[in-house]
Amino acid sequence: MSDTVERWVERFICATTLKQKLTPQPAPTRWSETPSVLRLQAPGRPPELRVVPRAPRRPRSLRSPSARARLLHTFLHHELQAAELMGWALLAYADAPMDFRRGLLRILHDELRHAALYLEQVEALGHHFGEFPVRDWFWERLPSCASPLSFVASMGVGLEGGNLDHSLRFADAFREVGDEAGARAQERIGREEIAHVRFALRWFRTFHGSFDFESWKSALVPPLSPMLMRGRPLNLESRREAGLDERFLSALSDWQPTAEGPKPATI
């Protein structure tokens, strides 16, 4: 029996070598005719990756190449987790529309390209993947998404939306210290994330029937809150291009955590 996309995705998530993670074999074209729901709880991790329970401290200044490499290493690990979690959703929501699952596979490949771009930058700065500790923060949260609605709210509109703000800010920070290649990588990835946010927004509307700030906030998987899903300043241009309207953007910008609400976490 020939290989299926589902089996390929499962192998990719569970892989334990850097090569299988970063440059997996091409995916087959055949999808399973009777896919079963599979909710993986954790990814495979190559022994070279030191996974730690707390986020390593972000460097304060990006002047030194090793500080920039450390930051890009964190981003590289975010992209790897994003790729794995797109695959996770494809397996977990086996009964979701085929069009949605095909889109997840497409985005998985985009995230792998982003990881490769960051790896190139890390190596150009004289470092390698595994040299700094990593945290599986996204994996600690997203497998609790009970529905595809919650997944697209938390991952796509939420975290990838936040990435539109962060990539713009970091592009400026890299440029400021004279790292033009680093700035361009941020800009390129930030641009490509717009389509991911648009995809999530489109499917939020399909699953829920409509989209607004309140329904998005209630679909977020606990303990995630809008706090983690925005950077300062908001990248209004990219967010508008992704399809987010002015009412949503001002509600996101104005939102304040309540005293009894979940404490903001650090990624």
Q: Minimum distance between the CB of residue 80 and Fe ion, rounded to whole angstroms?
A: 10
φ/ψ of residue 106, rounded to 5 = -60, -45
Q: Minimum distance between the CB of residue 135 and Fe ion, rounded to whole angstroms?
A: 17
Cβ–Cβ < 8 Å for 5, 13: no
Given the rule CB under 5 A, which of 43-51, 191-199, 232-240, 249-257 is the region that contacts Fe ion?
A: 191-199
Cβ–Cβ < 8 Å for 262, 223: yes
Question: For residues 88-117, which are near Fe ion according to CB under 5 A?
Answer: 111, 114
Which residue's CB is nearer to Fe ion, number 69 or number 185? 185
Which ranges of the chain would DSSP assign to H, the alpha helix? 5-14, 18-22, 65-92, 98-124, 137-141, 148-151, 161-176, 180-208, 213-219, 236-241, 246-254
Question: For residues 160-179, which are near Fe ion according to CB under 5 A?
Answer: 160
Site string for Fe ion, 123-162 (x = CB under 5 A): -------------------------------------x--
Q: Minimum distance between the CB of residue 33 and Fe ion, rounded to whole angstroms?
A: 29
Which residue's CB is nearer to Fe ion, number 77 or number 114? 114
Which residue's CB is nearer to Fe ion, number 188 or number 208? 188
CA-CA distance, 90 to 133, in Å (whole number)?
A: 28
Binding site for Fe ion (CB under 5 A): 79, 111, 114, 160, 193, 196
